[in-house]
Amino acid sequence: MPLLILLLPSLILLIAVFALPLFRYGWLSFHADSVMTGLVAIPNQGANWQRFIHDARYWQDLIQTLRFAFVSVTAEIVLGLIIALILNQPLRMRALIRSSSLIPWALPTTVMALGWRWIFNTPYGPIDRLMQSGLGQSLNALGEPSIAWITTVYADIWKTTPFVALILLAGLQTIPSDLYEAAKLEGASSWICLRRITIPLLLPYLGLALMFRLAQAFGVFDLVQVMTGGGPASSTESIALYAYWNALRFLDFGYSATIMIGSFLFLSSLILIAWLVITVARNRAAGVYAK
Amino acid sequence: MARDHGGAKSGCRSLRKMKAARFMIIALLIWSLGPLAWQLYTSFCTDQALVTPFASLDQRWTLVHYQSVLNSNPPFIRYLFNSLFAGVVSTVLTLLLAIPASYSLSKLGKRSALFFKCLLIGCALFPYVLLFLALLEIARYLQLGNSLIALAIPYAALSQPLAVLLLTNAFSDLPPELEDAARVEGLSVLQRFRWVLLPLISPAIASTAILVFLFSWNEYPIALTWISDSDQLTLPVAMARIAGSSIHSVPYGPYAAATVIGSIPLIILVMVFQKPIVSGLTTGAIKG
Amino acid sequence: MTLELRQVGRNINNQWIVENLTMTVADNECLALVGPSGCGKSTTLRLIAGLDPVSTGSVQISGRDITTLSPAERSVGMVFQSYALLPHLNVFENLELGLRIRGVSKRERTSKIRQVLDLVQLWNRANNRPAELSGGQRQRVALARALLREPEVYLLDEPMSNLDAQLREDIRPELRRLVLEQRKPTIYVTHDQHEAMAMAQRIAVLNEGKIEQIDTPYNLYHNPCSLFVARFIGRPQINCLKDESGHIRGVRPEAIRFSDSGLSGKLQSREWLGNSQLLFLETQQGVIRIMAPPEQAIPEQIRLTWRAEDEILFNAETGLRLSR
């Protein structure tokens, strides 16, 4: 019993900050609470949800958010794995290399988000200059809707790949080296080693990185808000940003809450599915390994 | 003979491999540090030099951006101190809550510990941006807006999952006999914390503290919505504010100077505390 | 001063870890607790120290009931298997911690620590951290900490299991001297029966949380009360032969001799033990171990006998000794 008392303050804080808001959103989503109602909550019989279901902008933002999340997380995991494999070798100045590659992860997103705006600036940024002199054509990386989202993906990859690489590196270091030695004795090539030893044994870590990164990328906000403001033409707008606009620009708290609780439900089911897929893959891998 | 041949071949291959690895490392460093280097370069360029990089100019280098950033009102250094303050307070609050909770978790039965761990992982996976509206309401209701100390409350909550998981691992890794011996010697719970437990988990505390500090230093959405007083802004919000509302008129020179000033403390932090950061992130991954 | 356990039990999730334990350890007596791992011997120590609460029964020191007291109030000195020294403190600080908590003055602390470190011959290592000491030295520091407590009861939990075999043998006389000099009830937990016989006047054999037998080493060996004790005590293990009446006859390997008549067997394998040899013989009643002098020649026709008084009879079902 005294043990639980030690746990209590932490638990209360978690409930206050994580659970209370969800209940509040659930309640708010059935109320109109905006400038129109004088910022007083008035029940509106599910009108928010009606609007939510038919809100083309939300669904477009959801698709954009998912696109952003899947593309950036996939790239981060592939790149992260490559970097981890490099860093796992005996290297001189390993600590220095490791901390240098950690710097992008440690810097505030907003700091570099504006930096990217300058680097991808048309026509004065270095990337655009390169494009102009190389292809004789401006890239317009932040002004062209079909390209701007890729630019934000790039910035996200730049920032979070070190984190993924670090987790995978930790995973690599748990693989006993005698497994590789045994495989080498059997004449296995490096590729076979990677496919049959490294990847299967790394699956738990890959799964972990995947889940955390997917959840984070799904809630992308800082990067997009500062780098593009959701533009051009809402092409990079994420659901979190949309919810933010609804609350603080349009002052429609009821609808903003609806967006957030709706997105939460969607994300929960997404994570559940990802978790199931990972578990199945892991069990299959374990089966292969046992054979 | 055949053996010699094989040896030479594999020697060749490993040399090639080493060269490839070196090339990749250089690529990695350019990739991760290049954008920062560009900001550094930008911060020293005159506006003229930025727009026409290849033209010969009388004045290419300047410190004017730094001057404008440091002499602004409030001075930029102020934001660094605000972030530092918020970071330290949040870190202390997080540890104060997480240490007892982790101790208790490490002593609980397997089943209840697993339950709490799943709860914490669930919280860690939650994209906390979605919380800002309700947190804003709470802040308004309790009149906590514009207070850096109050920011520590949501920050401590958001850091709890990571902190508790890391510290619980540290507590569970301690040999139980150490605490038993202290009990036999007559140490009370507090004395055991002071003399036995805290010194032994201090590496984990350091990792946790530095990760929580980084999180608090960098946090954006909650600081953005809680704090409007320009004297109280934290660094990320202040940086975003420099950009203003228009996308096309960002003062890139001063901004780059601000980036450099704002990055230096963090770069030093990462360089100095590389080990605890890495160990914190990786034990979290291995045992979480 | 005596230590007395009365029907002590510990139950976790409806499972008895230790059940109905009753025993008395006299002043100036060292009692060894032996048994296979998981038999509850360490738990028994923890119950006496107050580290775990008892579910039933009571613990008394010299007639004073200490069942509900905290470890701090009990005045027990305990040596742990891992020594449990704090790695961030040096030897002196490790020993000082408990004294400081108990409010002993600085001067007295120093003189006491000096005294006890002289006793275990480690005063010159007082400023070293545990990591800088050898296993044997660490063990002596752990013992010194228990001595400093000036307790009413000593509890030693496998104090030598982390040392290598040679060192264990070297340290044993020293440890025995230090422990016996205290003239306090002492409980010595070990899984090593040789160590138990060397250290203790009496041995309690535990099996699945219950005491099988408490007796002198001699009696445990020669008059085991159950098949379990007979098998647990004595290496090489006792031979167990099933006879026609359904009883089990236990015969110690060294009691069996070659002769002209009796049970016939065939040599399966042999192990040299230096001062003797251990023979494994295949017979109609199963494999029989016998001890023979090293120069013993193996006869062509092997026939085995033993004296009737060397035979111990057990009930095959209950495993209990049958009175002769």
Confidence band for A175, pLDDT divided at 50, 70 and 90: confident
Amino acid C79: pLDDT: 92
pLDDT at B57: 64
- pLDDT band at residue C10 using 50, 70 and 90 as cut-offs: very high
- CA dist A115 and C72 (Å) reads 61
Write the burial class of residue C154 (CB in 10 Å: 0-12 exposed, 13-18 middle, 19+ buried).
buried
> Residue A82: its chain B contacts at CB < 8 A?
24
Question: Least CA distance to C142: which residue of chain B?
Answer: B181
Residue B54's pLDDT is 63
Helix (H) or strand (E) holding B287, with range, is helix B274-287
Q: Is A173 helix (H, G, I), strand (E, B) or coil?
A: helix
Question: What is the dihedral sign for C-alpha A152, B69, A248, A108?
Answer: positive
- Using a CB-CB distance cutoff of 8 angstroms, which residues of chain B are in contact with residue A231? 247
Rounded CA gap, C74 and C54, in Å?
Answer: 14
Query: What is the 8-class DSSP label of residue B264?
Result: H
Q: What is the ipTM of this complex?
A: 0.87
Q: What is the C-alpha separation between B179 and B270, in angstroms, rounded?
A: 34
A187-208: pLDDT as tens digits: 888 888 888 888 888 888 888 8
Which residues of chain B does A14 touch, with a Cβ-Cβ cutoff of 8 Å? 119-120, 123, 157, 160-161
B contacts of C70 (beta carbons < 8 Å): 183
Which whole number is the average pLDDT over A60-80?
93
Among C46, C73, C86, the residue to mutate for chain B (most B Cβ within 10 A): C86
Partner C contacted by B109 (CB < 8 A): no
For chain B, the chains sharing at least 3 beta-carbon pairs closer than 8 angstroms are A, C
**Token pair in block for residue C149:** 């407590």
**Cα distance between residue A168 and residue A204, in whole Å:** 10
Say what the pLDDT of residue B26 is: 86
Provide the residue count of chain C.
324
Chain A to chain B, count of Cβ pairs less than 8 Å apart? Answer: 243
Which amino acid type is present at position C92? F
- Whether A21 contacts B135, CB under 8 Å: yes
Cβ under 8 Å to C: B residues 152-191: 175, 177-178, 180-188, 191
C contact set with B (CB within 8 A):
46, 49-51, 70-73, 76-78, 80-82, 84, 86-88, 97-98, 101-102, 145, 149
Least confident of A218-222, B4-8, B173-177, C170-174: B4-8
Peptide bond into C236 cis (omega under 30): yes
Q: Extract the residue ranges of chain B whose pLDDT is less than 50.
A: 1-10, 245-247
Confidence tier at C236 by pLDDT (50, 70, 90):
confident
Check if CATH label 1.10.3720.10 holds for domain A43-282.
yes
- Residue B156's CB is within 10 A of a number of other CB atoms, namely 27
Residues of B (178-237) whose Cβ lies below 8 Å from A: 214, 217-218, 220-221, 225, 235-237
Instruction: Report whether C208 contacts C35 (CB < 8 A).
Output: no
Confidence of residue C157 (pLDDT cuts 50, 70, 90): very high
Q: Which of C226, C205, C250, C237 is CA-nearest to residue C319?
A: C226
pLDDT of residue A43: 85
Query: In whole angstroms, what separates CA B270 from the centre of its chain?
Result: 9
Mean pLDDT value across residues A21-42 = 85
Please answer yes or no on whether B129 and A95 come within 8 Å at the CB atom. Answer: no
Could you report the per-residue pLDDT of C83-125, keeping only the tens digit for each?
A: 999 999 999 999 999 999 888 899 999 999 999 999 888 999 9
- The reported pLDDT for the residue numbered B288 is 52
pLDDT score at C117: 92
DSSP C32: E
Nearest Cα residue to B126 out of B162, B100, B150, B153? B162
* Per-chain mean pLDDT for chain C: 89
Q: Do chains B and C touch (3 or more CB pairs under 8 A)?
A: yes
CB contact under 8 Å between A25 and B97, yes or no, is no
Residue from B15, B25, B105 whose CB has the most chain A CBs within 10 Å, to mutate: B25
Tell me the percentage of chain A whose pLDDT exceeds 90: 23
The distance of B209 to chain C (nearest Cα, Å) reads 21
**Alpha helices for A175-198 (secondary structure H):** 177-185, 190-193
> Residue C313, SS3?
strand
Q: Which amino acid is at C276?
A: S
Kindly determine whether residue B199 and residue C88, on different chains, have CB atoms separated by under 8 Å: yes
CA angle B6, B11, B14 (to 5 degrees): 125
**Distance (Å, whole) CA A258 – CA A264:** 10
SS3 content of chain C, % helix, strand, coil (to 5): 30, 35, 35
